[in-house]
Structure 1
């Protein structure tokens, strides 16, 4: 009887061990992505006059294509790889067209889950700075902020993510200089860090080769569930590149009226700074009101109204701000209707 019991326990233990080994060596391959398009008309300027906000992407009038991307992910045990390919104007602007295989590659990295609390990633990955991201499906507003548009979109390097506890996380990274996403020939590198606590993130960036001078950025990204239906997102940043740069803050209040429809506002103040005396550096206050309606979980319809107002400026701030007469103006407004499909 004892021999039978011992033998049974051996086979049970062996089965559990084999199951654990099978789980660790489990392989998976997934494909996901999105496609988006939009219609945009300027309210305070002619559509054929070349008016633009000073932010990235969605700068066409009439009907336009945003981007299409396909993300292939493969994982085997503790290691894996991600290849994110993009096409279209938004993808081209995010990858600078000639950056890594003619603007096709958005992300391409390998990773190793060293332990349950430590992951190493090497390759090209989207930035950790800022509230918004490149793929429109992950943003509430379809158009992008000045803070997002002014920062780096991606990095090339090595990062380590640490889960310090259930609430605290830490990321450390060494990368090529700012917006050098293929190869660096200057011998300069940048360094990044992110401290997270319960969905709030404090980000740091230092670059000794940022456009030929010393550069750094500190950035806070987070948000709070005020209620089950109301969420408030927050982003604030200060950037300096050898004495000049930008700073600003944005609030993202969002209210869900039902499971399928939400309405949200982005209010942003953004300004440039420098060391030139007797010069009013340009600043802008932008308000973007967006509705988000989800159809069958995959299709998102976003009607959006945006108004940007320039203040205290001796010159423009990135964009081409004109009025209906084609003359320089202090504000620009537009209506946009976007459709985003995710899979």
Structure 2
């Protein structure tokens, strides 16, 4: 297998050296260039044809966000961002994910190899997965929310990784204000969930909240799992309540998509509806299996290269084109 080629873009010579040194220790990853800003990055992209770019959010001149927007418009490719741990950094990180970055990592508090080692395992996994990521150009037109929903009582669970932030914003932008109660586990960095909730509430019709233990599940609300310390589950259906369980990570993730899906399958049975927006992996696949076992409705990404999804219930399957995903979810949750 050919090595994953990475271009490192950062205005700091120290950070370029740290990031490239860390990446070079990851098997089958090759750093092909070090750029100090957007101008050098453009030239090196043409010269070296990297598979993935790592990009600093806070750069002088053209910022990392401005350059990311340019990349996603003119030459979409997988981009992993680095940002500070400040409140402003969280805002920039969520904006980067919404523009199409596949993940955003915090910069080390202290520029030392030991600090970068704390994230290198996850960074390596994301870079290798990024090589085959389906990165789409920015969509100019914003879809209007759907008409009011005549809800059939089915709950909706969604699992996604950080790289699907853009897709989540687009999907939720089509939801009516009285959408089905929607429980979301997204694998995003600590400190980003609050900013994600605030940005979504500014832009979409339904209410978005950060899930808390004991919270009642109601129509018209999207519940986002807090990252890091607990798993999100629902205890019963109908009239269920959310529970945050301080258990060990599952398949390396906490909160876990599979844990959420399994709880919805157990509570709602054949009425459960779940959407897996990330590639089926160790986290997610087990949850979809639990859903299938009770006859629920499961939608997950179709095999690589088909640019769509597959809706399955028991032995029945049908393709769902990407642009038909919102309408399909609304139909599954309507009378």
TM-score normalised by the chain length of structure 2: 0.27
Structure with greater helix share of residues: 2
Instruction: Look at both structures and tell me which one has the larger radius of gyration over its CA atoms.
Output: 1
Larger RCO, structures 1/2 (Cα 8 Å, 6+ apart): 1
Structure with greater strand share of residues: 1
